Amino acid sequence: MEIIKPKKLQKGDTIGILAISGRIKDFKKIENAKKYFNKCGYKVKISSSCNSNHRYMAGCSDEECINTFHDFFSDPNINTILCARGGYGTIRLINEINWDLIKANPKIFAGYSDITTLLNMIYKKTGLITFHSPMANGDFGGVINKYTKENFFKTLEGNLTAIKAENPVINNPCTIRGRLWGGNLATLTSLCGLDFVPNEDLILFVEDLNEPVYKIDKMFTQLFNLNSIKNNVKGIAIGEFQNIDNPSQLSELFGEISNKYKIPVCSGFKITHGEIKDTIPVGVQALFEAEKGLITIQEEYLE
């Protein structure tokens, strides 16, 4: 697969804030994000779907969301698309996406949580590197954490060199290479049944929240029932699993996965629904030194 690298974020660029998942409950947060980016030297365009909803989803309909998604990629004045929030809705849109349009109009596309669907499907279908990153509503719409803010701009300006775990817990310490790929575990699992796993060596990174350990176990089991996951995932970088019921059982589960598939599994990465988070390029070639709790970026990922 040919890898497509979007252009770096530069001062004066236009950031498109796109609501394509859960509905925006407080539009003031979107306005706050706009003010923040304006202050930082960027222009901002807000999607119409930020101001409408159907049930628990953004936009007055799926059609509005997919049309806005296509319009944002087609718009030559938008340099970066930053998703407004996660929640639920992106899985409903997958079969309507014009992948050729995205491939012809490559640009930074960023978000996390339910946006995991789009980060990985865009990479799989087009080869465009995407970004697991903070979002407009929950991060830039409030008091943005200093580390999260600095890492976001550092990464989107093309200056990310490494991702480091804090207080890593390591299973099967060894070094592997692969392309960074993953995101929210539950959302990733929802893609089972679709052609979503790249046919190349992968460093899987995952996070989640509000899930009991038995469900996390079930989701990993479901993923590893796929031969494409079993054969292609060479290591797992574990982010934060917030609000779990039994941390010791979760650690035990990670050890079992490592032993069963004979792959390094290292926890402690700032991949999270929490306020302190790394921005990670999806699809970039990297070196995973599990014994050091370190992922080193091995290629340029932006033009």
pLDDT at position 227, please? 98
Show the DSSP H helices in 88-191 as ranges. Answer: 99-104, 116-126, 146-156, 185-189
Round to whole Å and give the CA distance between 69 and 204.
26
| β-strand pairing of 80-83 with 14-18 | parallel
| pLDDT for 155 beyond 90 | yes
Average pLDDT over residues 183-187: 98
Same domain, 40 and 104: yes
Q: Is residue 3 part of a domain?
A: no
Dist CA 30 CA 83 (whole Å): 11
User: Residue 92 is part of which domain span?
Assistant: 14-156
| Same domain? 41 vs 24 | yes
| 152 shares a domain with 66 | yes
Evaluate whether residue 109 is within a structural domain. yes
| Domain end residue (candidates: 156, 182, 206) | 156
Strand partners, 132: 111, 280
pLDDT (0 to 100) of residue 68: 98
C-alpha atoms less than 13 angstroms from C-alpha of 221 in its C-beta half-sphere: 8
Assigned domain for 1 exists: no
Same domain, 171 and 264: yes
Local confidence band at 1 (pLDDT 50, 70, 90 cut-offs): confident
The secondary structure of 82-111 as a DSSP string is EE---SS-GGGTGGG--HHHHHHS--EEEE
Residue 31 DSSP SS3 = helix
- State pLDDT tens for residues 102-144: 999 999 999 999 999 999 999 999 999 999 999 999 999 999 9
Q: Is residue 54 annotated as part of the catalytic site, yes or no?
A: no
Strands 233-242 vs 202-209: parallel, antiparallel or unpaired: parallel
Report the domain count for the chain.
2
Domain end point (choices 156, 187, 205): 156
Question: 205 and 108 in one domain?
Answer: no
Asked whether residue 86 falls in the same domain as residue 121, the answer is: yes
Which pLDDT belongs to residue 128?
98
Q: State pLDDT tens for residues 214-239.
A: 999 999 999 999 999 999 999 999 99
User: Is the residue at 5 inside a domain?
Assistant: no
Say if residue 233 is in the same domain as residue 167: yes
Choice among 21, 64, 267, 273 that is catalytic? 273
Residue ending a domain, among 156, 174, 202, is 156
Residue-level pLDDT at 292:
97
Task: Assess whether 116 and 72 both reside in one domain.
Answer: yes
Over the stretch 48-100, which tens digit does the pLDDT of each residue have?
999 999 999 999 999 999 999 999 999 999 999 999 999 999 999 999 999 99
Task: Let me know if 228 is a catalytic residue.
Answer: no
Which CATH number goes with the domain that contains 287?
Answer: 3.50.30.60
34 lies in the same domain as 149: yes
* 86 located within any domain: yes
37 shares its domain with 137: yes
Whether residues 145 and 187 share a domain: the answer is no
Catalytic residue among 21, 47, 113, 267: 113
Domain shared by 215 and 173, yes or no: yes
| CATH assignment at residue 98 | 3.40.50.10740
pLDDT, the chain, mean? 98
Tell me what the mean pLDDT of segment 8-34 comes to: 98
Per the domain annotation, does 8 fall within a domain?
A: no
Q: 235 in helix, strand or coil? A: strand
Q: Which of 64, 207, 211, 240 is catalytic?
A: 207
With contact defined as beta carbons under 8 Å apart, do 45 and 16 qualify? yes
